[in-house]
Amino acid sequence: MIRNKFNKIQMKTKNTFRKTIVLTLILAITMANISQAQDIYNKDETNKKERPFTVDKKEYPFKSNWFEKDGISMHYIDEGEGIPIVLTHGNPDWSFLNRNIIKALSGEARVIAYDLPGFGFSYTPKNYGYTPQEHVEWIKALLFEHLKLEKFIIVVQDWGGPTGLSVATSNPDKVLGIVISNTWAWKAEGKLKEFSMLMRTPEMENKVLDENFFATALMQNSINEKSRNNKAITDAYAMPFPTRESRRATAVFPQQITLAASWLEDLETKLPKLQDKPVELIFGLKDDAVASQHIQDKWRALFPKAPVQLLPEAGHFTQEDSPESFVFSLRRMMKNLEPNK
């Protein structure tokens, strides 16, 4: 009788133990899923701001920083110490595009890479139009009001050209140097204009909004084969735009190439303010829209003393295809700046 009672107690204990293990496993899995969904990975550990999606931390190992403005969070990376280098971005990418430049230079300089509102990890203001003029105001607020930068090098490509150079021309005394790659800063002509007019058609706008066309098919066809075949990389470019409304950010930019013509014409008149600055030019030659011979010639005419790197195997997204070219240019620029620090 005692043995039977003992056996029942033992069986009950085992069942309780099994249930405890199962519940513990369920709780652990649940907490892991919550942690993954939230993906809180901030430099300021007291800040519990969540990244809206998860990226491969081997590709993008940096901790997040946040600039709060009007109740909206703008995301940026801020790594290293020394001469500040501001890495811009265009469409449909974000600071992820600059990850390999950050990795290479954060031991030698202070490298800052932001995500424009509606891009990357940044949130989107209410009633935001995604125009270059609006983006410029956010960049200025980040760099001057929040980070209070006094001097910096700026790296521009794609829409980072017009937006970044708008910031630079309105604050030329703060600019130590500029690296320019596959971009423009004037009224669009030729294939760039044709591309914009195509993207303004209802058919193409809906393709971008319904299929995430810009951040998937177009992006993947514009980067090197190794990156194109790496799911961690292609996912990182696609994930910021999970809904039709979120993709509006990527639809507006190509339309603004022609819709912002007067703003771009005005910007061109201001470029001479930067002619005394150290400039490096990098052209990915597989891109015939903003690295055509005509566009190369325009940049060379503006900055005739600028060293030029021509990259036959690089396309439009030069930071993805040849980050080492930017590292080379920036190291040379910083070395030449050292006597003037």
Which residues carry out catalysis? 158, 287, 316
- Grade residue 339 by pLDDT with cuts at 50, 70 and 90: low
Residue 245's beta-bridge partner residues? Answer: none
| Token couple for 324 | 């080492």
CA 194/CA 188 separation, integer angstroms: 9
3 state SS for 48-86: CCCCCCCCCCCCCCCCEEEEEECCEEEEEEEECCCCEEE
Residue 177 vs residue 341, higher pLDDT: 177
Looking at residue 340, its pLDDT comes to 55
CATH number, position 280: 3.40.50.1820
pLDDT tens sequence across 118-168:
999 999 999 999 999 999 999 999 999 999 999 999 999 999 999 999 999
Burial of 263 (0-12, 13-18, 19+ CB in 10 A): middle
152-157 vs 84-87, strand pairing mode: parallel
Q: What is the CA radius of gyration of the chain?
A: 24
Q: Is residue 25 part of a domain?
A: no
Write the DSSP string, 115-154. Answer: --TTSTT----TT----HHHHHHHHHIIIIIIS--SSEEE
Number of domains in the chain: 1
pLDDT of residue 174: 98
Q: Give the DSSP letter of residue 88.
A: -
Domain of residue 296: give its range: 65-340
In a domain, 184, yes or no: yes
**24-28, 85-89, 103-107: segment of lowest average pLDDT:** 24-28
Is the pLDDT at 25 greater than 80? The verdict is no
H helix runs in the chain, sequence order: 2-38, 99-105, 132-140, 160-170, 190-199, 202-211, 219-221, 225-228, 231-238, 248-259, 261-270, 293-302, 318-321, 323-337
The number of helices, as runs of H, and strands, as runs of E, in the chain is 14, 8
Distance of alpha carbon 156 from alpha carbon 184, whole angstroms: 10
Range of weakest confidence among 24-33, 112-121, 128-137, 190-199: 24-33
Give the model's confidence band at 89: pLDDT under 50 very low, under 70 low, under 90 confident, else very high: very high
Query: Would you say residue 110 lies in a domain?
Result: yes
CA-nearest of 281, 275, 316, 282 to 92 is: 316
Instruction: List Cβ neighbours of 228 (8 Å cut-off, separation of 6 or more).
Output: 220, 221, 234
Can you give the pLDDT at residue 338? 78
Give the number of other CB atoms < 10 A from CB of residue 36: 9
- If one counts every other C-beta atom within 10 angstroms of the C-beta of residue 204, the result is 18
How much of the chain, in percent, has pLDDT values that exceed 90? 87
Q: What is the mean pLDDT of residues 45-72?
A: 97
pLDDT above 70: residue 330? yes
Q: Mean of the per-residue pLDDT values for the chain?
A: 91
The pLDDT, as a whole number, for residue 39 is 87
Average pLDDT, stretch 262-290? 98
Tell me if 55 is assigned to some domain.
Answer: no
Residue percentage of the chain with pLDDT more than 70: 88
Q: What is the pLDDT of residue 331?
A: 98
Does position 29 have pLDDT exceeding 90, yes or no? no
Backbone torsions φ then ψ of 87, nearest 5 degrees:
-100, 115
Measured distance CA(125)–CA(117) in Å, rounded = 7
Question: Model pTM?
Answer: 0.89
Using CA of residue 174, residue 179, residue 181, residue 187, what is the dihedral sign?
A: positive
**Looking at the domain assignment, is residue 203 inside a domain?**
yes
Q: Give the other-Cβ count within 10 Å of 9's Cβ.
A: 10
Quickly state the pLDDT bin for 190 (edges 50, 70, 90): very high
SS (H, E, C) 290-302: CCCHHHHHHHHHH
Q: DSSP state, 219?
A: H
CA-angle at 254, arms to 250 and 255, nearest 5°: 110
Please give the pLDDT value at position 136. 98
Decide if 28 is inside a domain.
no
